[in-house]
Amino acid sequence: MKAIEIKPNIFWVGAIDWAVRDFHGYITPNGTTYNNYLINDKKLTLIDTVKHEFCNATIGNIKNIVDLSNIVNIVINHIEPDHASSIDLIMKLVPDATIYITERGKKGLDRHYDTSKWNFKIVKTGDTLNTGKYNLLFLETPMLHWPDSMVTYVKEAKLLISQDAFGQHMATAARFDDEFIECASTGELEDAVVDYYANILMPFGQLIKTKIEEIVKLGLEIDMIAPDHGVIWRKDPGKILKMYLDMAGGKADLRVAIIYDTMWHSTENMTIPIMEGIKDEGVDCRIIKLRSTPMSIAIKEFWKARGCLTGTPTINNVMFPSIAEFLYHLAGLRPKNRIVSAFGSFGWGGGGVKEAFELFKRMGLEIVEPGIQCQYKPSPEDETKCYEFGRSFAMKVKEYHKKF
């Protein structure tokens, strides 16, 4: 897709990856984009690069605007390869350019490339760069998304170039939020924001709040937020900031996600009466079978709901493998502000549900013990108990939900 001017003499020069469906294990049914930006000012400045395979796309976009060899500054906001893995090719074309990057970012590039002949300018929060008419301000955002991360604010354009933050994995012809909303179904873009946040940024909620508060305290006027993935927020950048603050503050729907797997349908057969009990307490419920669901979608469904019930059969005295994978993955995302319990079937010794609780405890989530178990196959009496368990859990979810 050709370059687009997003502010006077500031261009999107990125690439659209329509085909990617697996982004380091994260399912991306809508593809993604690798956004980078060119400031065509007295000192020609490139902000971020793109994924290596798309280097020719960004080079072509740049060449359609200017003579690429005139680039004198390259800002690297984030070194993850989806943004920085074209840097070696770009540096072959402009070997005298200066790279503006955080100290940790430089260490990362040093590990990936032979940087011995590259010019670096290490920057930290508050440092600035004048490109002619524009003044750039750098703000470090460690762990958003990696330790090296920073964002770049272009003062005269009221533009925040935010790397991963506020992004979405969404390949679309629309480059701006208002273009997207005009031609797509309602809620699709917001769902992509939640999906991205749940799978990438869930561990960093407190940091996000702190950074947004820091930006507010600095009094930076922002009328456009340009992330490194997905659409650019120009219609209402306040909306995406509020969405992030809400999610960081623990916002969730009054809903229970039942996330389960099953061997011979016993655990599966427990889900329906549990769901009926939840529904009869006036709480929404979704049932997600892990074996049929990509992990990142299960994570998103967990994140959207205030409560989660994990259903696991016991196999060899431990959790079912897909449930173990899900819970270990979830533990790494350090979820907060959710209430959880577990259920499942067993043949003789049991142990799967116990393990699920152990992991939930390690995560520090609000836990409702002891969950519910049945031997071999749920009997009619077991189904009644499952229904009551669903009702009882839903009541606790409603009570817990009042805190937010």
Q: Using the rule CB under 6 A, is 82 a contact of ligand FEO?
A: yes
* Binding mask of the shown chain, residues 211 to 250, with x at each position contacting ligand FEO by CB under 6 A: -----------------xx---------------------
Bond prior to 370 in cis (omega within 30° of 0)? yes
Contact between 169 and ligand FEO by CB under 6 A: the answer reads no
Could you tell me the smallest distance in angstroms from the CB atom of residue 194 to ligand FEO? 17
382 binds ligand FEO (CB under 6 A): no
Q: Which residues pair with 367 in a beta bridge?
A: 340
Candidate segments 59-67, 76-84, 180-188, 213-221, binder of ligand FEO by CB under 6 A: 76-84
Q: Strand pairing of 128-130 and 135-140?
A: antiparallel
Residue 51 binds ligand FEO, judged by CB under 6 A: no
Judge whether 27 and 296 are in contact, CB under 8 Å: yes
Task: Give the whole-angstrom CA distance, residue 166 versus residue 149.
Answer: 14
The one catalytic residue in 37, 48, 78, 197 is 78
Work out how close the CB of 368 gets to ligand FEO at its nearest, in angstroms, rounded to a whole number.
35
Residue 195 sits in the site that holds ligand FEO (CB under 6 A): no
Q: Which of 26, 34, 37, 145 is catalytic?
A: 145
Give CA–CA dist 318/355, Å, rounded.
7
196 is catalytic: yes
Query: For residue 239, what are its two tokens?
Result: 């909306």
Query: What tokens does 155 get?
Result: 């003062």
The type of residue at 90 is I
What is the chain's length?
A: 404
> C-beta of 239: minimal distance to ligand FEO in Å?
21
Given the complex with ligand FEO, which of 192 and 274 has the nearer CB atom? 192
- How would DSSP label each residue in 265-302? SHHHHHHHHHHHHHHHTT-EEEEEEGGGS-HHHHHHHH
Contact predicate 33/83, CB 8 Å = no
Q: Select from 6, 7, 41, 78 the one that contacts ligand FEO (CB under 6 A).
A: 78
The residue from 17, 48, 140, 164 that is catalytic is 164
Contacting positions for ligand FEO (CB under 6 A): 78, 80, 82-83, 145-146, 164, 228-229
Which positions are catalytic? 24, 78, 80, 82, 145, 164, 196, 229
